[in-house]
């Protein structure tokens, strides 16, 4: 494989046994494991720099604020944003989408407007829009997905033509099928129709390079924990002109300029959207994870995962599995079903052999119903995986088939 | 090891579930979901004067949840609502606690005790039962 196997050694959680077998972690789309340097960055914060951000005028406060703002600048550079104020820290991708859905909708969404979300969206990019639609009397309409598990661009075009579309919300990479969506094309089409655009980048950060300033999008939502970083932190990228017009998401300390009972005024972005005590510890870990990804290289990661994916798909098919979807552009994620074996039964077989895979609907119930599947088994790859990891899965398939055949 | 979880009788029930299908005019019904894996089951009953005359289930799920639903319908049909609740109690104990299962009450259901060793699968075994209990509560 294109990445050295020594990378695996940097991940302490991978050095253990499960059910008497070496742990084989194949669920990185749910959350990736963390390299030691990320774990150290988080604990180092608590050991040396623990203070509230933007508050204490003393040394620890300065360190904490520097780590936090340093992470912001690093993320800005990492995703190619023009200004650091375009990065709002949140507790995860879900909160990032909720923030946009709330604040953007409060400013722009009107009665009978339409929000388009693709049928393959994660519940996190459906439900916040449904809730916003309900508040404003707007409608959420799904963009159909083809049998190959790609967004149906013809149908998308018709919807843009026929409906008063104000927002198009789609994911960058599909956590259930691995589809890499043509976000630039989708965003361009949406903009030509006068719509705003939200990209759910939960699966994007560690797998596809983006340059948000070159994309005609309003928002890009991210999670640190799916990109080798700690849980509990994520971010929303929003174009400066867009963020400046939006009302706050939550009220509290830090997001205000001045508070009085006559007139409270808010800070400029990003502060306006970051109410209360922030999470500099995990921001420091997030930054360290971005450094890790940069050193390995997003392209190298994608190539590594692609090589394993292609070999793995063949192995799985030879073992009798049906791969779900065949999009032209695909990340290191494979969904498959086994004839006569329910995915949930299969996961017990793989768990028994020390392999961690995800089974079920992957928080994409509308996609599963449109594919007519109760769920799938999913393998998702990261830097530390190798093709040998797949041998265990094949062993699990064989032992499941001995019982279910 | 997994042969113990997936005993023949379980595989048999999951491949050819008994009392699967719908009742057109049930007196009681409820749906159960396992959000963790997407398993879904609907339990429909006809209860007349406290007696379970008819019970059917529909839905989809893993072998354990299907087999458990199938065995449940056989175990409670013809019993009173109170007896059905007792059987559930005995079954629930058998799949969660370490004591010897009460074979006299459970019969085939005792084959599901293997899930104890796989905590994430216990919900599969109890899904249809919770739906039945809810059905009986809601509309009794
Ligand atoms: C495509 C996609 N969007 C959103 C999310 C939600 O991310 P989080 O749970 O980190 O908020 C996920 C996580 O599974 C995802 O895969």
Residue where a domain terminates, one of A294, A313, A331: A294
- The pLDDT of A10-39, averaged and rounded, is 96
Q: Which two tokens stand for residue A85?
A: 């104020």
Quote the minimal CA–CA distance from B38 to chain A in Å: 6
Mutate to test the interface with A, among B13, B34, B37 (most CBs of A within 10 A): B37
Residue where a domain terminates, one of A245, A274, A294: A294
Q: What residues form DSSP beta bridges with A258?
A: A265
Same domain, yes or no, for A247 and A304? no
At A324 the three-state DSSP class reads coil
Same domain, yes or no, for A82 and A93? yes
Residue B138 has pLDDT above 90, yes or no: no
Q: How confident is the model at residue B3 (pLDDT cuts 50, 70, 90)?
A: confident
With an 8 Å Cβ cutoff, is B64 touching chain A?
yes
Residues with CB under 6 A from ligand 1: A 92-94, 122, 124-125, 171, 175, 200, 202-203, 223, 225, 234, 363
Asked if B63 and A349 come within 8 Å (Cβ–Cβ), the reply is no
Q: Could you list the beta-strand ranges (E) of A279-393.
A: 322-323, 333-337, 355-356, 358-360, 376-380
- The pLDDT of A301-320, averaged and rounded, is 97
d(CA A140, CA A166): 10
- The pLDDT of A343-368, averaged and rounded, is 92
Same domain, yes or no, for A231 and A325? no
With an 8 Å Cβ cutoff, is B120 touching chain A?
yes
Q: How confident is the model at residue A1 (pLDDT cuts 50, 70, 90)?
A: low
Q: What is the pLDDT of residues A116-141, one digit of tens each?
A: 999 999 999 999 999 999 999 999 99
Same domain, yes or no, for A280 and A317? no
Which residues constitute the domain of residue A319? 3-26+297-404
d(CA A315, CA B136): 48
Atom of ligand 1 nearest to the CA of A173: 1
**Any idea what the CATH number is for the domain that residue B67 is in?**
3.90.1010.10
Q: What is the 3-state secondary structure (H, E, C) of A36-56?
A: HHHHHHHHHHHHHCCCCCCCC
pLDDT of amino acid A122: 97
Quote the minimal CA–CA distance from A122 to chain B in Å: 14
Residue B103 has pLDDT above 80, yes or no: yes
pLDDT of amino acid A405: 79
Q: B41 C-alpha vs ligand 1 centroid, how far in Å?
A: 27
> How many distinct structural domains can be found in chain A?
2
**Any idea what the CATH number is for the domain that residue A314 is in?**
3.90.1150.10
d(CA B131, CA A45): 48
On whether residue A270 sits in a domain, the answer given is: yes
**Any idea what the CATH number is for the domain that residue A54 is in?**
3.40.640.10
Cβ-in-10-Å burial (0-12, 13-18, 19+) of A58 comes to exposed
Residue B140 has pLDDT above 70, yes or no: no
Among the ranges given (A74-88, A375-389, B44-58, B99-113), the one the predictor scored with the smallest mean pLDDT: B99-113
With an 8 Å Cβ cutoff, is A123 touching chain B?
no
ipTM above 0.85, yes or no: yes
- What angle do helix axes A388-404 and A343-352 make, rounded to 10 degrees? 120
Asked if A404 and B38 come within 8 Å (Cβ–Cβ), the reply is no
Q: Which helix (H) or strand (E) holds B11?
A: helix B8-15
Same domain, yes or no, for A390 and A248? no
Q: What is the pLDDT of residues A140-191, one digit of tens each?
A: 999 999 999 999 999 999 999 999 999 999 999 999 999 999 999 999 999 9
pLDDT of amino acid A374: 84
Same domain, yes or no, for A22 and A123? no
Of the candidates B2, B37, B62, the beta carbon closest to that of A352 is on: B2
On average, the pLDDT of chain A sits at 96
pLDDT of amino acid A192: 98
On whether residue A342 sits in a domain, the answer given is: yes
Sign of CA dihedral A69, A74, A75, A76: positive
Q: What residues form DSSP beta bridges with A236?
A: A88, A221
Same domain, yes or no, for A259 and A326? no
d(CA A222, CA A217): 14
On whether residue A395 sits in a domain, the answer given is: yes
- The pLDDT of A11-18, averaged and rounded, is 96
Asked if B39 and A344 come within 8 Å (Cβ–Cβ), the reply is yes
Same domain, yes or no, for A252 and A351? no
Residues A5/A389, Cβ–Cβ less than 8 Å:
no
Which residues constitute the domain of residue B107? 2-137
Quote the minimal CA–CA distance from B82 to chain A in Å: 32
Residue B58 has pLDDT above 60, yes or no: yes
Asked if A359 and B121 come within 8 Å (Cβ–Cβ), the reply is no
- The pLDDT of B84-111, averaged and rounded, is 90
d(CA A233, CA A123): 19
pLDDT of amino acid B105: 85
On whether residue A32 sits in a domain, the answer given is: no
On whether residue A31 sits in a domain, the answer given is: no
Asked if B3 and A360 come within 8 Å (Cβ–Cβ), the reply is no
On whether residue A34 sits in a domain, the answer given is: no
DSSP assignment string, B63-83: HHHHHHHHHHHHHHTTSBHHH
Q: What is the pLDDT of residues A214-239, one digit of tens each?
A: 999 999 999 999 999 999 999 999 99
> How many distinct structural domains can be found in chain B?
1
DSSP assignment string, A104-132: HHHHH--TT-EEEEETT--GGGTHHHHHH
Same domain, yes or no, for A154 and A181? yes
- DSSP structure class, residue B113: G
- The pLDDT of A395-402, averaged and rounded, is 94
| Set of chain B residues whose Cβ sits within 8 Å of the Cβ of A360 | 36-38
Asked if A403 and B38 come within 8 Å (Cβ–Cβ), the reply is no
pLDDT of amino acid B39: 85
Q: Could you tell me where the DSSP H helices lie in B19-121? A: 63-76, 81-96, 103-106
Model confidence, pTM: 0.93
Mutate to test the interface with A, among B38, B63, B65, B122 (most CBs of A within 10 A): B38
On whether residue A71 sits in a domain, the answer given is: yes
With an 8 Å Cβ cutoff, is B17 touching chain A?
no
Residue A267 has pLDDT above 80, yes or no: yes
On whether residue A290 sits in a domain, the answer given is: yes
Residue where a domain terminates, one of A294, A321, A338: A294
């Amino acid at each position: 494989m294109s990445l050295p196997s020594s990378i695996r050694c940097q991940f302490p959680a991978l050095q253990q046994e499960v059910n008497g077998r070496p742990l084989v972690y194949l669920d990185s789309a749910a959350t990736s494991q963390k390299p030691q340097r990320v774990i150290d960055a988080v604990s180092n914060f608590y050991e040396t720099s623990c203070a509230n951000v933007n508050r204490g005028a003393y040394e620890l406060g300065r360190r904490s604020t520097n780590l936090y703002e340093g992470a912001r600048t690093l993320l800005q550079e990492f995703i190619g944003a023009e200004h650091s104020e375009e990065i709002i820290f949140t507790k995860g991708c879900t909160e990032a989408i909720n923030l946009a859905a709330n604040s953007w909708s409060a400013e722009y969404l009107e009665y009978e407007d339409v929000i388009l979300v693709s049928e393959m969206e994660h519940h996190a990019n459906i439900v916040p829009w449904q809730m916003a639609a309900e508040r404003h009397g707007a409608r959420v309409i799904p963009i159909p997905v083809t049998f190959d598990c790609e967004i149906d661009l013809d149908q998308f075009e018709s919807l843009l033509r026929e409906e008063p579309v104000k927002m198009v919300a789609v994911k960058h990479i599909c956590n259930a099928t691995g589809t890499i969506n043509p976000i630039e094309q989708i965003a361009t089409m949406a903009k030509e129709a006068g719509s705003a655009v939200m990209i759910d980048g939960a699966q994007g950060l560690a797998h596809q390079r983006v340059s948000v300033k070159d994309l005609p999008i309003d928002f890009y939502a991210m999670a640190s924990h799916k990109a080798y970083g700690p849980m509990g932190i994520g971010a929303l990228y929003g174009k400066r002109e867009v963020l400046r017009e939006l009302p706050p998401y939550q009220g509290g300390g830090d997001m205000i300029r001045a508070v009085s009972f006559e007139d409270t005024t808010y800070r400029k972005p990003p502060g306006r959207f970051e109410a209360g005590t922030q999470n500099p510890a995990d921001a420091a870990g997030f930054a360290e994870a971005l450094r890790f990804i940069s050193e390995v290289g997003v392209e190298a990661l994608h190539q590594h995962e692609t090589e394993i994916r292609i070999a793995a798909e063949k192995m799985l098919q030879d073992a009798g599995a049906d791969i779900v979807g065949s999009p032209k552009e695909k990340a290191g994620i494979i969904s498959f079903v086994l004839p006569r074996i329910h995915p949930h039964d299969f996961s017990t077989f793989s768990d028994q052999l020390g392999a961690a895979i995800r089974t079920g609907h992957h928080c994409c119930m509308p996609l599963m119903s449109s594919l007519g599947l109760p769920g799938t088994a999913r393998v998702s790859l990261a830097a530390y995986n190798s093709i040998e990891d797949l041998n265990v899965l094949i062993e699990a398939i064989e032992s499941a088939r001995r019982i279910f055949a | 090891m997994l042969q113990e979880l997936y005993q023949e009788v379980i595989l048999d029930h999951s491949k050819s579930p008994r009392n699967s299908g719908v009742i057109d005019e049930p007196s009681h019904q409820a749906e159960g979901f396992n959000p963790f894996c997407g398993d879904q089951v609907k339990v429909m009953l006809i209860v007349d004067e406290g007696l379970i005359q008819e019970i059917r289930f529909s839905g989809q799920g893993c072998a354990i949840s299907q087999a458990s639903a199938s065995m449940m319908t056989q175990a409670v049909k013809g019993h009173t609502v109170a007896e059905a609740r007792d059987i559930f109690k005995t079954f629930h104990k058998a799949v969660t606690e370490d004591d010897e299962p009460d074979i006299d009450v459970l019969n085939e259901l005792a084959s599901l005790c293997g899930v104890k060793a796989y905590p994430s699968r216990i919900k599969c075994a109890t899904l249809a039962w919770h739906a039945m209990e809810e059905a009986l509560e809601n509309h009794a």
